[in-house]
């Protein structure tokens, strides 16, 4: 994987050297640093696709299954607090990403921003870490979707369903990004309706409304906050609290996909801000409210929650609550929703990994053949690689499949913290470079309500989450001692990211600096800033709104 020397000037556009540093000012839309120019990706994602991707795109096993294990290990209060912390962090992260994605709707989104505004080597590490995360999550999601079928038929081998779902995903890829968008639109609506339905049912259960049919004696009476007192709001002290963060990251993983989809959006200036504002609703309503209701109606000491992990969807805390309510048919319906949710995340896997690998290849940071995009705007070889990774799902037939999946997933949950922190850092660096090169904030089409301050909060929260996860990796429970295997299964992404960072430093032989100087940042290629008449119109509209109204408008 060699890097080319300084490219030639073409059509008045200056390019960057092999390390990704801008050599001179330039004009035009061509992306500098691109060494393997490919056909453009298709721009078929509409506003409705983007909004549904933002609201329900990543709701899957992390919420419907993984929440049960951390409810048992951390308690209902830890569950809510940690998910809220990660949710707030992600809200600021997505707003920072939206600003850059509207201004630069280019291939690779945040990976490209990290390369241009932070450091090419760190961008290489983030790009490959993100791609590997989605590559390895796909076989897990396929297995999880297949295991949900055991709820109805446990006499059919899991491998049969893995094959069926893998074929379905392959067919979706034939229709390109439009196929991805349409599938996510439909499946997200189903997931959203299920979340709303569970909230209503949870309130009824908590108020004792199912007493005639309930198989759980507690459900025959008003529960209130009973389970927050017995067995308690927190389990396993600080260790249990810290252990929730990785599962929360896995549950929220994919929210940043909105920024990645910018390059294939028909109207990124309109659709991305609208989609980003929907993240607020997903965090508050579909995660926090659902999990709060869940903690009120499911005991954290329930032994069944011990199996609520990995791909074992049979012990979803949501299904457990419905079964204990004694409502016929509904457990099967919700299990079908979980199957749909997991397939939806598997569909997102193919999008996240393929677009990132294609962007990496365009910059010479991946094998050249991965940059190929066909006439229909599909990165074909990247799709082939992702589908081949899907065949790893068949390791579920191995006797030690749980251990194998634990190692595969060790790259994903923690890796999101590095990616989200890097997005915030890229935004902070971008704003500094924007000011240093003489640009005005008025020229930026979309700006987060809290600006750079929000990115600083998001960046610091990511660091805190990494520290908490590190502590939990060493001491999973109050009476545990450090164990090398358990530590690396929980924290493997950190040494992998460090290895990738140093690998590109060695390949590029770029040891001159640790970051891109402000005056050498590429702020012009792919730029879509406001024209003067648009700035005047925006200023007039802003003057009509009070500060509180501007804050509300920024969120909603």
Tell me the C-alpha to C-alpha distance, in Å, between residue 554 and each of 268, 269, 401, 549. Answer: 17, 15, 45, 8
Residue recorded with tokens 């999601």: 141
The pLDDT tens digits of the residues spanning 28-39 come to 456 667 777 777
> What are the DSSP calls for 74-140, one per residue?
H-HHHHHHHHHHHHHHHHHHHHHHHHHHHH---TTTHHHHHHHHT-HHHHHHHHHHHHHHHHHHHHH
Q: Is 23 within a domain? A: no
Q: Is 27 within a domain? A: no
116 pLDDT tier (thresholds 50, 70, 90):
very high
Could you give the CA distance from residue 57 to residue 192 in angstroms, rounded to a whole number? 10
6 pLDDT tier (thresholds 50, 70, 90):
very low
219 pLDDT tier (thresholds 50, 70, 90):
confident
Q: Of 468, 400, 485, 383, whose CA–CA distance to 138 is shortest?
A: 383
CB–CB of 110/335 below 8 Å?
Answer: no
**Residue 228: its pLDDT value, please?**
92
**Residue 41: its pLDDT value, please?**
72
**Residue 57: its pLDDT value, please?**
65
The pLDDT tens digits of the residues spanning 468-505 come to 888 888 887 777 788 887 888 788 888 999 999 999 99
**Residue 301: its pLDDT value, please?**
86
Handedness of CA 195, 196, 199, 201 (dihedral sign): negative
Higher pLDDT, 192 or 45: 192
Task: Choose the most confident range, by mean pLDDT, from 72-81, 209-218, 265-274.
Answer: 72-81
User: Average pLDDT over the chain, rounded to whole?
Assistant: 80
Residue recorded with tokens 């949900």: 148
The DSSP H or E segment spanning 462 is helix 451-474
pTM, whole model, 2 decimals? 0.86
Q: Is the pLDDT of residue 417 over 60?
A: yes
Q: Is 29 within a domain? A: no
**Residue 19: its pLDDT value, please?**
38
Could you give the CA distance from residue 136 to residue 138 in angstroms, rounded to a whole number? 6
480 φψ region: left (φ > 0), alpha (ψ -120 to 50), beta (else): beta
The pLDDT tens digits of the residues spanning 442-473 come to 888 888 888 899 999 999 999 999 998 888 88
Under DSSP, the state recorded for 7 is P
Handedness of CA 281, 283, 287, 291 (dihedral sign): negative
The pLDDT tens digits of the residues spanning 380-408 come to 899 999 889 888 888 766 655 566 667 77
CB–CB of 113/423 below 8 Å?
Answer: yes
> What are the DSSP calls for 149-198, one per residue?
GGGT-SSS-HHHHHHHHHHHHHHHHHTHHHHHHHHHHHHHHHHHHHHHHH
Q: Is 159 within a domain? A: yes
**Residue 399: its pLDDT value, please?**
58
- Specify the number of domains making up the chain: 1
Mean pLDDT across 248-257: 80
Q: Is the pLDDT of residue 254 over 80?
A: no
**Residue 27: its pLDDT value, please?**
41
**Residue 80: its pLDDT value, please?**
92
Q: What is the CATH number of the domain that holds 351?
A: 1.20.1740.10
Q: Is 3 within a domain? A: no
**Residue 1: its pLDDT value, please?**
39
Provide the token pair at 207.
């108020």
Q: Is 221 within a domain? A: yes
**Residue 544: its pLDDT value, please?**
64
Per this entry, what is the length of the chain? Answer: 556
Q: Is 14 within a domain? A: no
Q: Is the pLDDT of residue 69 over 70?
A: yes
SS3 state of residue 498: helix
**Residue 23: its pLDDT value, please?**
41
Q: Is 345 within a domain? A: yes
Domain housing 228: 47-397+406-555
543 pLDDT tier (thresholds 50, 70, 90):
low
> What are the DSSP calls for 263-303, one per residue?
GGBS-HHHHHHHHHHHHHHIIIIIIIIHHHHHHHHS-TT-G
The pLDDT tens digits of the residues spanning 44-67 come to 777 777 777 766 667 777 788 878
Provide the token pair at 377.
């705007």
**Residue 453: its pLDDT value, please?**
94
Mean pLDDT across 119-136: 91
Lowest mean pLDDT among 148-157, 337-346, 465-474, 489-498: 148-157
């Amino acid at each position: 994987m060699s890097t080319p020397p300084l490219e030639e000037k073409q059509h008045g556009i200056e390019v960057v050297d092999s390390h990704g540093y801008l050599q001179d000012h330039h004009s035009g839309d061509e992306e500098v640093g691109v060494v393997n120019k490919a056909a453009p990706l298709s721009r078929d994602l509409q506003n409705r696709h983007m909004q549904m991707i933002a609201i329900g795109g990543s709701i899957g096993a992390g919420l419907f299954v993984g929440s049960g294990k951390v409810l048992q290990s951390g308690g209902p209060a830890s569950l809510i607090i940690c998910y809220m912390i990660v949710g707030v962090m992600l809200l600021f992260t997505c707003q920072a990403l939206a600003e850059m994605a509207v201004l630069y709707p280019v291939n690779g989104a945040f990976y490209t921003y990290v390369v241009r505004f932070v450091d090419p080597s760190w961008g290489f590490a983030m790009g490959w870490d993100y791609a590997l995360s989605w590559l390895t999550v796909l076989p897990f999601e396929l297995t999880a979707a297949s295991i949900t079928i055991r709820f109805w038929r446990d006499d059919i081998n899991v491998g049969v369903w893995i094959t069926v779902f893998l074929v379905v995903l392959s067919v979706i890829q034939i229709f390109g990004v439009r196929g991805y968008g349409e599938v996510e639109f439909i499946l997200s609506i189903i997931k959203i309706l299920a979340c709303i339905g569970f909230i209503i049912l949870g309130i009824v259960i908590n108020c004792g409304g199912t007493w005639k049919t309930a198989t759980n004696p507690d459900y025959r009476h008003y529960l209130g906050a009973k389970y927050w007192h017995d067995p308690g709001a927190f389990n396993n002290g600080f260790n249990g609290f810290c252990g929730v963060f990785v599962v929360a990251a896995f549950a929220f993983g994919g929210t940043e996909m909105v920024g990645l989809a910018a390059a294939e959006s028909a109207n990124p200036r309109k659709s991305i801000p609208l989609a980003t504002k929907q993240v607020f609703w997903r965090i508050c309503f579909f995660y926090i409210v659902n999990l709060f209701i869940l903690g009120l109606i499911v005991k954290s000491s329930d032994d069944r929650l011990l199996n609520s992990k990995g791909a074992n969807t049979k012990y979803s805390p949501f299904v457990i609550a419905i079964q204990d309510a004694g409502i016929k048919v509904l457990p099967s319906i919700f299990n079908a929703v979980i199957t749909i949710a997991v397939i939806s995340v598997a569909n997102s896997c193919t999008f996240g990994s393929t677009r990132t690998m294609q962007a990496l290849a365009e910059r010479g940071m991946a094998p050249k053949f991965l940059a190929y995009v066909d006439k229909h705007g599909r990165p074909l070889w990247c799709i082939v690689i992702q589908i081949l990774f899907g065949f790893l799902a068949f390791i579920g037939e191995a006797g030690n499949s749980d251990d194998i999946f634990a190692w595969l997933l060790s790259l994903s949950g923690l890796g999101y913290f590095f990616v989200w922190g890097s997005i915030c850092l890229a935004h902070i660096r971008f704003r500094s470079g924007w000011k240093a090169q003489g640009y005005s904030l008025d020229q930026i089409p979309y700006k987060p309500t809290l600006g750079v301050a929000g990115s600083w909060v998001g960046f610091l929260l990511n660091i805190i989450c990494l520290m908490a996860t590190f502590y939990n990796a060493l001491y999973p429970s109050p009476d545990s001692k450090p164990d090398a295997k358990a530590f690396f299964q929980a924290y493997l992404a950190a040494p992998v990211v460090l290895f990738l960072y140093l690998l590109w430093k060695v390949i590029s032989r770029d040891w001159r600096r640790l970051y891109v100087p402000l005056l050498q940042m590429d702020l012009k290629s792919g730029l879509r800033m406001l024209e003067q008449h648009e700035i005047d119109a925006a200023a007039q509209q802003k003057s009509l709104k009070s500060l509180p109204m501007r804050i509300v408008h920024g969120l909603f």
